[in-house]
Amino acid sequence: MTRPIFIAILAAALFGAASPAGKFLLNWFSPVQLAGLLYLGAAVGLVVPVWRPGKRANLPWRLGGRSLFRLTGAIVFGGIIAPICLLLSLRFASATSISIWLTLESIFTAVVAVIFFKEHLSAKSWLSVGGCVLASVLMSCGGGASGLAAGLFVALACLGWAIDNNLTALIDGLTPPEIAFWKGSVAGVFNLALGLCLSPFHPDPTAVIWALIVGALSYGASLVLYISAAQMLGAMRSQMIFATAPWWGAVLSIVCLGEAAGPQQLLAAVVFAGSIALLLLEQHSHAHSHEELSHIHMHAHDDRHHNHLHEEGQPANLRHSHWHTHEVLSHSHPHWPDLHHRHGHSHDHD
């Protein structure tokens, strides 16, 4: 159960680099134009894994109604609204301050997950959430005044990504790279077209290349890793780990952009680490039942849920993706709210 934790940490580090990199690239592009280039970079970076020879890509318009609705919502809130708001905020404040403000995303994701998506949190999980909130406050105290406009844009960006996080964690029918590819393609084309209509565009070829590279890493690779973690952990828990992204962004802003930081960031990092460690100690286990279900997602055959047969010699821990069917199953084991554990809970379950 530690594998998705490390995947989420790597996703956070890559995404954290987006704020200082975006601050630098805004010297050449408007916020909307840069949002388009970053997401197009994410899509370009995923062309090979999604459309490689011999692989049949899943098309989003063939999804069932719920998954298509969730993908559309993720694109609108997480691919269009959120990145534009984030890059607009960088016009008003330093990358260090914006990175600190981005800790709001974990709080918003928690609220959306519990209220609207009925995720279950044990007492230990709530304590871990409280640690992340405390770390957010500590980082905010060290960030100085970012300004009302910057704070408003960051809050809107965090709310957009919070909705995106919860919707994406429930998408099946597409693999994580396919979700990121379609999200990057649609959001990238829309944002760039809007940016060209709103502002003059005088591209510097080197700046364009760097924007695409940053998009491929900070939005493409990061999103694939986050989706993989969210489908195994659930949106709430994966976001708690992803909440370290602002710390990575603050460190990179200090090192690469020469911006200042206070001691609160160091203390916040310790609190974040303790909260993640507490999450690792969680053991949520009870008797539960699975209904018959057919879908597609990344999985291995050593997780007690995927018992279908494959070619001989394929190791049980090999992670792969294809359409498969689950039979009715009742059992008890430690689990998180992944794609297979969206059941309700009574109050006596720990």
Give 340 or 141, the one with higher predicted confidence. Answer: 141
Give 170 or 347, the one with higher predicted confidence. Answer: 170
Q: How many CA atoms lie within 13 A of 218 on its CB side?
A: 24
Give 121 or 80, the one with higher predicted confidence. Answer: 80
At 124-176, the pLDDT tens digits run 767 777 777 777 666 656 555 555 777 788 889 989 998 998 888 777 777 77
> Model-level pTM greater than 0.85?
no
Domain boundaries along the sequence of the chain: 3-285, 287-334
Residues in the chain: 350
Query: Taking all residues of the chain, what is their mean pLDDT, rounded to a whole number?
Result: 76
Average pLDDT over residues 234-243: 70
pLDDT band, residue 309 (cuts 50/70/90):
low
At 105-130, the pLDDT tens digits run 777 777 787 777 666 666 776 777 77
Q: Do the Cβ atoms of 336 and 285 come closer than 8 Å?
A: no
**Res 80: pLDDT:** 94
**Res 341: pLDDT:** 45
Rg of the chain over Cα atoms, rounded to whole angstroms, equals 20
* pLDDT > 70 fraction of the chain, expressed in percent and rounded: 67
Q: How many CA atoms lie within 13 A of 207 on its CB side?
A: 15
Give 17 or 175, the one with higher predicted confidence. Answer: 17
Residue 89 has pLDDT above 80, yes or no: yes
At 23-41, the pLDDT tens digits run 999 999 999 999 999 999 9
